[in-house]
């Protein structure tokens, strides 16, 4: 059956066919870009304890009220409190304790005087602390103190389920004592290109052949979006070779099979035939440019997306259809790509299909502007590498004049969250 679907309809069918994967514990150091499977709450107040934000002297602020450079206030140093220690003294009127940044504030003290405002400034740090300290500036109660719970209170929601972990999130979780975190399993994917014309880039070129561009490109895109690509290569246009590859992949327990090329009506397109023998494959024409042909089905129960062979069509198809699937499998709830608006600096034309044109998004007088990055042929990868965005023309629109505002989909450096 061949039907013409809108991009939205095709996306919906694909998304409805898959579910988020299981949640597994992962060591925090390996959890970057992984998606939280559960909400995580604060176990502790942060800071854990009231502490000093500077190197200096813990005091009773009232003692320093009259302090100046000319008439310093002299206090008796009763303790030395390095970071990592637990003070046992209580600071009384007329007393001070030397304290380092991050060390717990001793009982009785309500402020810290920075060392720069004392006669200990510029003193050799190796020397033992003196018995007395002269304070040159007054401080107020609470100065240079980080109170317990200032940043986070125990029980507070730190991060929600569905959140992709960034470096700063790992820092927060580490500071709360999380050594492992519950995250969605990474989707396991096998990628298969096909074509008698294909050569690996390591092979010498020969007449009529081309290098396989899709394997490197699509596996990198899928990995950037959090997938584990267990195989990325091509088969000849040969029925048995194709079947044997697909059997291997389904036996390896992949979550999704992606093919490129070989699903259209060419005489040597075997992928379609082989999948149908052990599953089903629906071939659609999507109202989209580039990348009109798209196939979806199951092979031995494993979902299969068949992308077009032309490299730009394959890339755009992967971005628009497969990446949202990966995001759903990875536990991200909002899988719609983020669009921006920009003004056309030149007229653009398409053929009336929903078009994703390779474009350069720029800024002019503080406003976003966009122009095409080169020839829009669906095999022309150079124009794709020069693009930093896809310019979207809605279905039914064949041309737009310069000055018109259009939607653009910025192409970022992979990373699962860039798409969601």
Is residue 292 within 8 Å of 317, Cβ to Cβ? Answer: no
* Stretch in the footprint of ligand AMP (CB under 6 A) among 42-50, 191-199, 220-228, 411-419: 191-199
Residues touching ligand AMP, count (CB under 6 A):
20
Q: Say which entry of ligand AMP, Mg ion, none residue 410 contacts (CB below 5 to 8 A, set by partner kind).
A: none
Buried residues in 228-242 as b, exposed as e (16+ CB within 10 A):
ebeebebbebeeeeb
User: Is 219 a residue that touches ligand AMP (CB under 6 A)?
Assistant: no
Nearer to Mg ion, 193 or 350 (CB): 193
Residue of 45, 110, 143, 212 interacting with ligand AMP (CB under 6 A): 212
Q: What's the closest the beta carbon of residue 23 comes to ligand AMP, in angstroms?
A: 35
- State which of residues 52, 219, 310, 417 lies at the interface with ligand AMP (CB under 6 A): 310
- Residue 37 binding: pick among Mg ion, ligand AMP, none (C-beta 5-8 Å cut-off by kind): none
Which of these segments, 140-148, 149-157, 245-253, 303-311, binds ligand AMP (CB under 6 A)? 303-311
Task: Reduce the secondary structure of the chain to three states and give it as a string.
Answer: CCCEECHHHHHHHHHHCCCCCCEEEEEHHHCCCCEECCCEECCCCECCCCEECCCEEEECHHHHCCCCCCCCEEEEEEEEECCCCCCCCECCCCEEEEECCCCECCECCCEEEEHHHECCCCCCCCCCCCCEEEECCCCCCCCCEECCCCCECCCCEEECCCCECCHHHHHHHHHCCCCEEEEECCCEEEEEEECCCEECCCCCCCCCCEECCHHHHHHHHHHHCCCEEEEEEEECCCHHHHHHHHHHHHHCCCCEEEEECCCCCCCCCHHHHHHHHCEEEEEEEECEECCCEEEEEEECCEEEEEECCCHHHHHHHHHHHHHHHHHHHCCCCCCCCCCEEEEECCCEECCCCEEEEEEEEEEECCEEEEEECCCCCCCCHHHHHHCCEEEEECCCCCEECCCCEEEEEECCCCCHHHHC
Residues 284, 88: Cα–Cα separation, whole Å: 75
Which two tokens mark 326?
């990966």
19-23-24 Cα angle (round to 5): 145
Measured from the CB atom, the residue of 111 and 322 that comes closer to ligand AMP is: 322
Q: Which of 24, 197, 239, 247 binds ligand AMP (CB under 6 A)?
A: 197
Span interacting with ligand AMP, options 149-157, 211-219, 240-248, 319-327, rule CB under 6 A? 211-219
Bridge partner residues of 139 (DSSP)? none
Q: Which residues bind Mg ion (CB under 5 A)?
A: 195, 261
Among 47, 309, 331, 337, binds ligand AMP (CB under 6 A): 309
From residue 7, alpha-carbon distances to 20, 54, 103, 305, 416 in Å are: 22, 58, 59, 14, 21
* CB nearer to ligand AMP: pick between 58 and 258: 258
In the complex, least distance from residue 237 CB atom to Mg ion, rounded to whole angstroms: 6
Of 7, 213, 229, 344, the residue at the interface with ligand AMP (CB under 6 A) is: 213
Q: Which is nearer to Mg ion, 144 or 214 (CB)?
A: 214
Contact flag: residue 20 with ligand AMP (CB under 6 A): no
User: Could you say whether residue 220 binds ligand AMP (CB under 6 A)?
Assistant: no
**Does 198 sit near ligand AMP (CB under 6 A)?**
yes
Nearer to Mg ion among residue 121 and residue 268 (C-beta) = 268
Q: Is there binding between residue 226 and ligand AMP (CB under 6 A)?
A: no
Q: Which residue has the tokens 């492992």?
A: 180
Cβ nearer to Mg ion, comparing 72 with 195: 195
Contact status: 210 vs ligand AMP (CB under 6 A): yes
Residue choice 11, 52, 118, 214 for contact with ligand AMP (CB under 6 A):
214
Check residue 33 for interaction with ligand AMP (CB under 6 A).
no
Q: How far is the CB of 9 from ligand AMP (least distance, A)?
A: 22
- Of 79 and 275, the one with the shorter C-beta distance to ligand AMP is 275
Q: What is the per-residue binding string for ligand AMP in 256-295, x denoting contact by CB under 6 A?
A: ----xxx-x-x--x--------------------------
Least Å distance between CB 291 and ligand AMP?
11
Q: Which residues are at the interface with ligand AMP (CB under 6 A)?
A: 193, 195, 197-198, 210, 212-215, 234, 260-262, 264, 266, 269, 308-311
């Amino acid at each position: 059956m061949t039907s013409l679907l809108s991009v939205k309809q095709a996306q919906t069918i694909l998304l409805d066919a898959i579910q988020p994967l299981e949640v597994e514990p992962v060591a925090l150091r390996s959890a970057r870009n992984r998606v939280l499977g559960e909400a995580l709450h604060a176990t502790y107040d942060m800071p854990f304890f009231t502490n000093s934000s500077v190197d200096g002297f813990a005091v009773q602020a009232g003692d320093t009220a009259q302090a100046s450079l000319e008439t310093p206030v002299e206090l008796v140093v009763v303790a030395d409190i390095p970071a990592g220690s637990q003070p046992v003294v209580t600071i009384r009127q007329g007393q001070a304790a030397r304290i380092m940044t991050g060390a717990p504030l001793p009982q009785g003290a309500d402020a810290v005087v920075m060392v720069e405002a004392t006669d200990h400034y510029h003193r050799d740090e190796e020397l033992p602390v003196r018995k007395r300290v002269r304070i040159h500036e007054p401080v107020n109660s609470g100065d240079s103190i980080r109170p317990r719970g200032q940043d986070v209170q125990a029980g507070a929601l730190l991060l929600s389920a569905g959140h992709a972990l960034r470096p700063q999130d790992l820092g927060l979780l580490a500071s709360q004592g999380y050594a492992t975190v519950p995250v969605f399993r990474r989707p396991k994917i096998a990628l298969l290109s096909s074509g008698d014309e294909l050569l690996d880039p390591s092979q010498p070129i020969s007449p009529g052949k081309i290098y396989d561009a899709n394997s490197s490109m699509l596996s990198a895109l899928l990995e950037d979006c959090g997938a584990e690509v267990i195989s990325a290569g091509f088969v000849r246009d040969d029925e048995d070779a194709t079947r044997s590859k697909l059997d291997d992949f389904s036996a390896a327990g992949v979550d999704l099979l992606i093919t490129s090329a070989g699903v259209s009506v060419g005489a040597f397109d075997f992928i379609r035939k082989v999948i149908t023998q052990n599953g089903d494959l629906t071939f659609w024409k999507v109202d989209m440019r580039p990348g009109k042909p798209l196939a979806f089905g199951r092979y031995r129960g494993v979902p299969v997306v068949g992308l077009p062979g032309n490299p730009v069509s394959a890339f755009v198809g992967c971005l628009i259809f497969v990446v949202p699937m990966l995001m759903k499998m990875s536990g991200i709830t909002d899988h719609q790509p983020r669009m921006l608006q920009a003004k056309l600096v030149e007229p653009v034309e398409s053929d009336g299909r929903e078009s994703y044109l390779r474009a350069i998004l720029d800024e002019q007088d503080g406003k976003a502007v966009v122009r095409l990055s080169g020839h829009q042929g669906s095999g022309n990868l150079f124009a794709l590498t020069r693009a930093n965005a896809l310019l979207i023309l809605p279905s039914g629109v064949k041309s737009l004049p310069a000055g018109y505002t259009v939607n653009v989909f910025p192409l970022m450096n992979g990373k699962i969250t860039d798409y969601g």
